[in-house]
Structure 1
């Protein structure tokens, strides 16, 4: 057993929070987003350099909670009308198809078999919504049309990435049927529709009814606890439907953000207090998850190639349709940059390929490292390039 597995819970949490403080200091020192500071410090204290902490069950659990809370809080700044637009669907489709094709062709060019090429392509499809959403929130850019486009497209992206994974696995097993594809497509759509309707017509009213009761007067924190419980229930049900739990918690936030409370503590404000430590732990965990000792000189070119293909294919695949669908050049480039991060879905797909014996260990490590590079690229592009050039965006616009 690894020595960090034997460390007490108190020590690991204290260390993670201390690293979080250090991450903010590092980010301030290098004039970058807190996300960059936390990931870099996670790399330093993790197995890559100092080895003070590894990706233990405690770190994994706290990071997962953090990701769910991030998207729950982000959801409060959006409405369904902002997200349900045809052009976001078009951007999401293009942002999945081009990386899939580019990854497949790259893998074939490198000599991997068709099954391995399918998995490498599939691993490059999904955007990590938590990374960009947090950077946009940190920069005060959530209330913009660009943010709506990125988040709306990322939701579509996540659904399509799951469909791609399902088709890829079925193709490897030689069992692709129209019915199986239809189920893969309809199941996540059904969840989103049911979750949204439940939030708008049941959960909202239930929260307001509880808020006006004597229980809320006696315990003002009761409604906040109830709201947080809803976020995790939505995440749980999303996972059951085959969607990322993060999409579930995001929809929970969108669903109940119009609730007007009279007697209870604010669900949003209470969640934002939780957001600070748990989001920091999530980003730190991305650095801890990586072990640079596994990166040999032989696979560095593969890591760089996958990172370049993943970044450019997503950037072009999302910015080009955004421009063709009416966005100005700057905003369309921002959408493309905001869709670059890869995260948990890329790792899940790579892990499935590895466990099936289709993907070799060096390819698995390369995808994980390339995902980390893509994650670090986005805050740099948004903060140092795109938003430095254009400081104001119009508020939400209806088209």
Structure 2
């Protein structure tokens, strides 16, 4: 602002919510993914064009909340056994190695230091599970077998990406050890197994008993509030352990799959309204994060190359193993493209590299823009190429229910 006065939190919040919901409505009106419409609107209202909203810590916090709620809602569509398929582990592992190697050597070819190249390669390993899951939900494809493969693989991919980040940071600082790596792996896997067991065998049964209690009959929203509270608890515990908070919220949603309530409001229906609001904020914030005016010619060339490598490395690294494991050509392509969005995970990697002075502002901006481009390309490929007929059927079905 010309006066130098920073907009207050109230103004930032109201503008953010207004444009987030406007983006959702706009995308629905033009029959495009909400992800694309909201990110593009974020670019317009952010520093790239109008400068109405900047990516402050407050905006970042609200966006993170949106990602947590989004994955909580997505979790309702899955069962624990959907996430334990050995195929997903194989696809996820190869889908980490190929982008890491590709990003590293391409960065070296552009003249970056080995330390910087390590961080760029690590940024390419990540997959934004929230983004792909939202696109699949919009297209009525969450029940498809390849969708379960994408989500299951993306959960594993997210954990492996954080391990890759830990290794990269330790190697860059000279503190890497195999013993420390083994401890991190055991801690994270043990935590996920523990909260999944608690959610399925304890909390879900508690919710069923709670539904029959006098307080739930008097206050039908009681169970919903309790379920959301558990989702935030699982998210906080996951963050504390060193796993992304969205994974904890996702496990909470999976734990509540199939619960039948007699007296209380439906948990998933209530969460859907939260999802529409806060997930919209999350996607708009990705557009706000980018300042296109800071990009120079050489940086734009690097962005173009690294974006192509980011997509191809996931399509090859995830798609080929999927095909070898028995998925059809189209489903294998869908798994590869579905794993392509880098989103907030790559941005976290870039921010860490920037804070450690291992990458500069040019690389940071490159990774952020690459993340945005891969996020936009995936829903376009799904809706307008791979699953064009399915999208039309989904839209026709929704219109028929109205």
Q: Measure, in 2, the Cα distance between the counterparts of 1:54 and 1:282.
A: 14
Match of 1:285 in 2: 285
Q: Measure, in 1, the Cα distance between the counterparts of 2:64 and 2:5.
A: 18
Tell me which moved more, 183-192 or 144-153: 183-192
1:209-220 to 2 correspondences below 5 Å: 209-220=209-220
1:1-80 to 2 correspondences below 5 Å: 6-28=6-28, 30-80=30-80
- Describe the shift of the 1:36–1:122 C-alpha distance in structure 2 as closer, same or farther (beyond 3 A): same
CA contact (8 A) 1:4 1:53 kept: no
- Describe the shift of the 1:5–1:170 C-alpha distance in structure 2 as closer, same or farther (beyond 3 A): farther
Match of 1:246 in 2: 246
Per-residue displacement from partner, 1:172-199 (whole Å, max 9, x unpaired)?
1222222111012112111110011000
Q: Measure, in 1, the Cα distance between the counterparts of 2:268 and 2:359.
A: 42
- Describe the shift of the 1:199–1:285 C-alpha distance in structure 2 as closer, same or farther (beyond 3 A): same
1:181-260 to 2 correspondences below 5 Å: 181-260=181-260
Match of 2:112 in 1: 112
Question: How many residues were matched structurally?
Answer: 393
- Other structure's SS at 2:125 match: coil
Q: Measure, in 2, the Cα distance between the counterparts of 1:270 and 1:142.
A: 19
CA contact (8 A) 1:5 1:56 kept: no
Match of 1:268 in 2: 268
Q: Displacement of 1:32 after TM fit?
A: 1.9
- Other structure's SS at 1:112 match: coil
Q: Displacement of 1:119 after TM fit?
A: 1.0
Counterpart check, 1:82 vs 2:82: yes
1:276-315 to 2 correspondences below 5 Å: 276-315=276-315
Per-residue displacement from partner, 1:359-397 (whole Å, max 9, x unpaired)?
12111111111111111111111111100166789xxxx
Q: Measure, in 1, the Cα distance between the counterparts of 2:57 and 2:159.
A: 27
Q: Displacement of 1:3 after TM fit?
A: 7.4
- Describe the shift of the 1:11–1:307 C-alpha distance in structure 2 as closer, same or farther (beyond 3 A): same
Match of 1:167 in 2: 167
Match of 1:103 in 2: 103
Per-residue displacement from partner, 1:132-166 (whole Å, max 9, x unpaired)?
10010011111110110000000110111111111
Give the structure-1-normalised TM-score: 0.94
Structure 2: gaps spanning 5 or more residues: 395-402
Q: Measure, in 1, the Cα distance between the counterparts of 2:90 and 2:350.
A: 26
Q: Measure, in 2, the Cα distance between the counterparts of 1:129 and 1:5.
A: 37
Q: Displacement of 1:343 after TM fit?
A: 1.6
Tell me which moved more, 207-216 or 135-144: 207-216
Match of 1:396 in 2: none
Q: Measure, in 2, the Cα distance between the counterparts of 1:4 and 1:163.
A: 41
Q: Measure, in 1, the Cα distance between the counterparts of 2:213 and 2:166.
A: 46
Match of 1:337 in 2: 337
CA contact (8 A) 1:94 1:317 kept: yes
Q: Measure, in 2, the Cα distance between the counterparts of 1:304 and 1:31.
A: 27
1:139-154 to 2 correspondences below 5 Å: 139-154=139-154
Give the structure-2-normalised TM-score: 0.93
Q: Measure, in 2, the Cα distance between the counterparts of 1:137 and 1:204.
A: 23
Match of 1:132 in 2: 132
- Describe the shift of the 1:252–1:29 C-alpha distance in structure 2 as closer, same or farther (beyond 3 A): closer
- Describe the shift of the 1:105–1:288 C-alpha distance in structure 2 as closer, same or farther (beyond 3 A): same
Q: Measure, in 1, the Cα distance between the counterparts of 2:390 and 2:282.
A: 29
Q: Measure, in 2, the Cα distance between the counterparts of 1:3 and 1:117.
A: 41
Match of 1:373 in 2: 373
- Other structure's SS at 2:205 match: helix
Tell me which moved more, 108-117 or 323-332: 108-117
- Describe the shift of the 1:101–1:6 C-alpha distance in structure 2 as closer, same or farther (beyond 3 A): same
